[in-house]
Amino acid sequence: MKTIEEHLSTYPEPIRSRALKNRKNLPFDAKTSLTRTNALTDGFNWFYSPEGSSYWSVILLKDMFGEIPVITDQAAPEPSQLDRIEKKVDMLLAALPERQDQL
């Protein structure tokens, strides 16, 4: 049995990043799942996701019929523009107290 996040990480982009983002923002209580399709249904609230229930229903059906490949390469996905901006903001905030001491 794998965690929901491990299963969702096996989807190709952009499904992977969208599912993981929704898992983070709209999680259900389930922590683990037997299959990837179960992880998709148990991982987050489709209705309140930005993509909506229709999008995830199509993804689920395509996955059930083998139309979506399983990505076994667990290399970290490219950081999004938001991730890069957040990292820069964190670096700037970390440097801020040092700059204030110098003033």
The residues pairing with 44 across neighbouring beta strands, listed in sequence order, are 27
In a domain, 34, yes or no: yes
In a domain, 90, yes or no: no
The distance of Cα 89 from the centroid of its chain, to the nearest Å, equals 21
14-25: pLDDT as tens digits: 999 999 999 999
Residue 84 has pLDDT above 60, yes or no: yes
Q: Which domain holds residue 22?
A: 2-75
In a domain, 85, yes or no: no
34-71: pLDDT as tens digits: 999 999 999 999 999 999 999 999 999 999 999 998 88
Total structural domains in the chain? Answer: 1
